[in-house]
């Protein structure tokens, strides 16, 4: 890339930064290309529509987050929950084995 091209890219990215935008790369399916571009274009605009879209996406993504503590909840539902168990083993020398 020539110096003038590098300068042009640097200036373009600086102008984007002034508008509060940043460049980033995403990986996705070819079939989703236009959907993602349209979505990003809409999110980059300021206004009520982008706020509604951002909120809807945020809610949709929050609903798909994996829940944590599943094992602990299962153990608490166990029929043995709260039962005093004696988990101590007796110590013995073992048995004599004739080799």
Contacts of residue 49, Cβ cutoff 8 Å, sequence gap at least 6: 42
Q: For residue 42, how many other CB atoms are within 10 A of its CB?
A: 14
- Would you state the structure tokens that stand for residue 52, as one six-digit string? 């509604």
Give the start-to-end residue ranges of the domains of the chain. Answer: 3-64
Lowest mean pLDDT among 11-20, 40-49, 50-59, 85-94: 85-94
Between 2 and 72, residue with greater pLDDT: 2
Q: How do residues 51-70 score in pLDDT, each as one tens digit?
A: 999 999 888 888 766 677 78
* pLDDT value at 10 more than 80: yes
pLDDT at 38 over 80: yes
The pLDDT value recorded for residue 33 is 94
DSSP states of 13-76: HHHHHHTT---------GGGHHHHHHHHHHHHS-SHHHHHHHHHHHHHHHHTSPPS-HHHHHHH
């Amino acid at each position: 890339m020539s110096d003038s091209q590098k300068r042009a890219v640097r200036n373009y990215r600086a102008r984007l930064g002034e508008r509060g935008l940043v460049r980033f790369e995403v990986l996705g399916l070819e079939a989703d290309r236009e959907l993602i571009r349209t979505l990003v274009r809409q999110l980059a605009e300021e206004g009520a529509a982008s706020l509604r879209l951002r909120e809807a996406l945020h809610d949709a993504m929050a609903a798909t987050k994996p829940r944590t503590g599943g094992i602990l909840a299962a153990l608490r539902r166990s029929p043995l929950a709260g039962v005093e168990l004696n988990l101590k083993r007796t110590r013995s020398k073992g048995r004599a084995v004739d080799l």
